[in-house]
Amino acid sequence: MSVTNAAGFVAAGVVAGLKSTGKNDVALVQNLGPNKAAAVVFTSNRAKANPIIWSQQVIGDGIVEAVVLNSGGANCYTGAFGFQTTHATAEAVAEGLGVSAGDVLVCSTGLIGVGGQDFRDKVIGGVATAIPALNDDGGHDAALAIMTTDSKPKESVVQGAGWSVGGMAKGAGMLAPGLATMLVVITTDAQLGSADLDAALRSATRVTFDRLDSDGCMSTNDQVSLLSSGASGVSPSLEVFTAAVTAVCADLAAQLQADAEGASHNISIETINAVSEDDAVEVGRSVARNNLFKAAVFGNDPNWGRVLASIGTTDAAFDPADLDVAMNGVWVCRNSTPAADPATVDLKPREVSVTIDLKSGADRATVWTNDLTHAYVHENSAYSS
């Protein structure tokens, strides 16, 4: 049920004709309250789509009545007409639900440059279809509607003591920090204000979505929204609530990684004994973005030299002559020299782990990525055709 698992939420996913496949492509999630508090985290890309620009204004007062999402067009770099389309979409939702357009978040995903009159007409038509279809079992249909190159919907639920958190996500490529080419809606019936929601969401995304670096590319449309209905009447501690939101985000991030375009390996890169968490993240991200390393994993080649070369490009504190690297639990490099025979490393399974010991401190962090495959190149070379 994902976003409708929490009490006080209804959702719908409908066909508006944006996708050539004829599948669901417009989703709507409504918060029935009594609480309407929300928090949102946006892409850090300076090139922002019209829905991001709109939604950044909406969340200013911490109140959100509904979220409308479409796949099949990013409505990015479509000029003033595109922003007017975003505004018109929010107005259509507001009129149908009897709320203010200034309390409606708008999200779009798809090809940049798509957002003309035909796009507008189909999105507005989709809104008109979605409003009467809203129901408390519509979460799955909504999750289907936001898919683009995804092969499957992404949904997650965590139960608290008398309250719950549920979420849906889309994303299968351009997964990089500052969120990813993903749209995420998380709902809860816990009773919390917008400030607590914001703190919990930022804490959760920092260690989940922001460390998913599938291909080093950052989208223009990334948005993670957290809405509270307060319908349970329960107010958990911020610590307990943050843990639940983090669990949902981690689950959704893992599903995004597993569905990355064309990938044949899921790679977790854990950097240990770093001077700081920032150093550990920097090292892990450098390896995650090394195409030579990613290509080696695709070829089942435990080429640890490419790991050390990536570490060397960072500003992290370490001794280049004293680094250890393990792949799938086999320490193939000790003290920056060959150790165990790389032939003993089995990289055929989809799950691959890399451990990097900087021997410089006590902090650690994990970054997640995928290998670089022929299928990834093919899919992205033909994305707009």
- Reported as a pLDDT band with limits 50, 70 and 90, residue 373 is confident
CATH class for domain 2-258? alpha beta
- Reported as a pLDDT band with limits 50, 70 and 90, residue 180 is very low
Contact 364, 272 (CB under 8 A): yes
Task: Return the percentage of the chain with pLDDT > 70, whole number.
Answer: 94
Mean pLDDT within 225-235 = 98
- Report whether pLDDT(383) > 60: no
Distance CA 232, CA 234 (A): 5
Total-model pTM: 0.92
Instruction: Return the closest-CA partner of residue 51 out of 15, 89, 25, 18.
Output: 89
Mean pLDDT within 229-240 = 98
Task: Return the percentage of the chain with pLDDT > 90, whole number.
Answer: 83
Strand order in the sheet with 26-31: 9-14, 26-31, 66-71, 104-109
pLDDT tens for residues 30-63? 999 999 999 999 988 889 999 999 999 999 999 9
Task: For domain 266-381, say whether CATH 3.10.20.340 is its number.
Answer: yes
Q: Check for a shared fold between 2-258 and 266-381.
A: no
Kindly list the catalytic residues.
181
Where are the domains positioned within the chain? 2-258, 266-381
pLDDT of residue 181: 55
Contact 370, 215 (CB under 8 A): yes
β partners of residue 41: 224
What integer best gives the mean pLDDT of the chain?
93
- Reported as a pLDDT band with limits 50, 70 and 90, residue 245 is very high
pLDDT of residue 379: 67
b/e 287-310 (16+ beta carbons within 10 angstroms → b): bbbbeebbebbbeeebbbbbbbeb
Neighbours of 278 (CB within 10 A): 13
pLDDT tens for residues 130-177? 999 999 999 999 999 999 888 899 999 999 999 999 999 997 654 454
Tokens of 223: 């948005």
pLDDT of residue 15: 98
Which of 73-77, 210-214, 327-331 has maximum average pLDDT?
Answer: 327-331
Report in angstroms the alpha-carbon separations of 184 from 23, 46, 211.
19, 20, 15
pLDDT of residue 66: 98
pLDDT tens for residues 255-286? 988 887 778 999 999 999 999 999 999 999 99
